[in-house]
Amino acid sequence: MSNEVNKPSVLIVGAGLGGVLLGALLEKANVPYTIFERASSVKPLGSAMSIGSALIPVFRQLGCYDEFVTIGKRSIVAETWRESTFGYSLDFLPREEFSGEIQYIVSRPLLYNVLLRQIPPHKIQFGKRVLVAKETEDKQRVTIQTADNAVYEGDILVGADGAYSAVRQRLYEALQKEGKLSKSDQEDLPFSCTCLVGQTQVLDLEEFPQLKDPLYPFISTLGNDKPYSWVLFGTAQGTISWMVVEHLSAETTKTAQAQRFRNSDNSEWGPTAAQSMCDETRDFPIAFGNGKMTLGDLYDRTSKDFISKVMLEEKVFKTWHHGRTVLLGDGAVTSMHDAIALANLIYCLPSTSSEDVSQMFSEYKAERLPPVTAAFNSSRSLAKSMEKGLAGTIAFFITKYMPVWLWRIFLKGMVKNRLRCGYLAEIEDKGTVPAAYSASYEKARALYKKRREAEIAVSAAPAATI
């Protein structure tokens, strides 16, 4: 039973943002777990993220909000340029009114370190590449075998190891042999762009005076006659996190199928031979510095060890779970939202029977599939708006001249998905736009209250007399 005496043991494969957040939440619930990461250590890779109401309530519940704020920079304005020509700016300040939370730009590696500190070191095992994942013959447990021939057993296996998940691969292979895998899940991961990311060293504020402004916007730039877009984020640490996206044609996408980055050292943002892409893009102009600088000026101020190149895959899988195995989505915010919902449901698991585990996984997918699909469609629309050609031009025009009332409606939709942990301290929702309903949160909150009432009743009962 999932109570103080006998809780499910959880094996989490992948120490990315989703896997680490899930571990941190299970830690608070006293649910036994171990995280297995194929890399020998986690490297500080990635660019920056915009984090606000979607995750801050959970950071408050975990007790790491104050630390998070110290690494974040308030974000209320975003600018879009056409190379050296200013296009338009977008005011995101209403998000704070609608959600009750400030939006921050935060370095992805620093955010990762904040979450990593919520995990006792002995509960993460590095250098553990999973080769085999399967259920025991009686279906009552699940086991994994790592490359060093070690075997681990638990009640639940969570694949949190990114787009090329070893857990997903093993699960899909088994289902395909049984004829139970959908046709779409048998197809290769499609992708339409490659992405180069990095973060500079701490910069001279006289050379980059924009970094002195605590509200200086993050800047997206669209290439005029080239299939590239690039985004720059000024951070609270006086660095610039940058991301350069190459939008691939159908022909180049097909050619790149053989260039999958399966052997990355980090489960999400593995470093690869990115020098050629740096060379191709170093002359692209940036709206930082003295107005004459280029991406090359940022590359030259970024350690090569902190630059990585990845394919950006685009797919919503149909198979999320089977037996005792369940998968987290790829992508930073998506995987962390998946982790919150799954933690709520694991807390509520009435027993470790196959039937109860399967029911829990079904509830998890039912809650998370709609927002994941919406996020996927939104991401594709955003990608289209940044492409060169007629579609990109139309999207640019529509966004530039969007009326304020319509923009506010759009922002209201952005802030509705505010997941919380049902068994941790309640966080007051100060937003003017109600958070979207979360079945996993409501279920965990109701059980938490029931258990607390029972504890209070026991403590208030008079002691037995002899």
Q: Would you list the DSSP string of 231-251?
A: EEEE-TTS-EEEEEEEE--HH
User: Are the C-beta atoms of residues 313 and 215 closer than 8 Å to each other?
Assistant: no
pTM reported for the whole predicted model: 0.91
Tokens at 31, concatenated:
């649910």
CA angle 229, 230, 235 (to 5 degrees): 160
Q: Which residues lie across from 50 on neighbouring strands?
A: 105
pLDDT value at position 317?
85
Alpha helices in 300-353 (DSSP H): 332-348
pLDDT value at position 262?
43
* Helices and strands, counts by H and E, the chain: 14, 19
Q: Is 428 exposed, middle or buried (0-12, 13-18, 19+ CB in 10 A)?
A: exposed
pLDDT value at position 330?
80
pLDDT value at position 77?
93
437: number of Cβ within 10 Å = 9
User: Are the C-beta atoms of residues 111 and 21 closer than 8 Å to each other?
Assistant: no
User: Are the C-beta atoms of residues 92 and 411 closer than 8 Å to each other?
Assistant: yes
Position 78: which residue type?
A: A
Give the separation between CA 17 and CA 130, rounded to whole angstroms.
Answer: 18
Give the separation between CA 206 and CA 187, rounded to whole angstroms.
Answer: 51
* Digitized pLDDT (tens) for each residue of the chain, 466 residues in all: 444 556 999 999 999 999 999 999 999 999 999 999 998 887 767 788 999 999 999 999 999 999 999 999 999 999 999 988 999 999 999 999 999 999 999 999 999 999 999 999 999 999 999 999 999 999 999 999 999 999 999 999 999 987 778 898 899 998 998 898 888 888 876 777 888 999 999 999 999 999 998 888 889 999 888 889 999 999 999 999 999 998 887 645 444 444 444 444 444 444 455 888 999 999 999 988 887 899 999 999 999 888 988 776 667 888 899 999 999 988 788 999 999 999 999 999 999 999 999 999 999 999 999 998 888 777 666 666 666 667 777 888 888 999 999 999 999 998 999 999 999 999 888 899 999 999 999 999 999 999 999 888 888 777 655 4
Give the separation between CA 56 and CA 237, rounded to whole angstroms.
Answer: 20
Domains present along the chain, CATH in parentheses: 10-45+108-186+317-451 (3.50.50.60), 191-313 (no CATH)
User: Are the C-beta atoms of residues 399 and 81 closer than 8 Å to each other?
Assistant: no
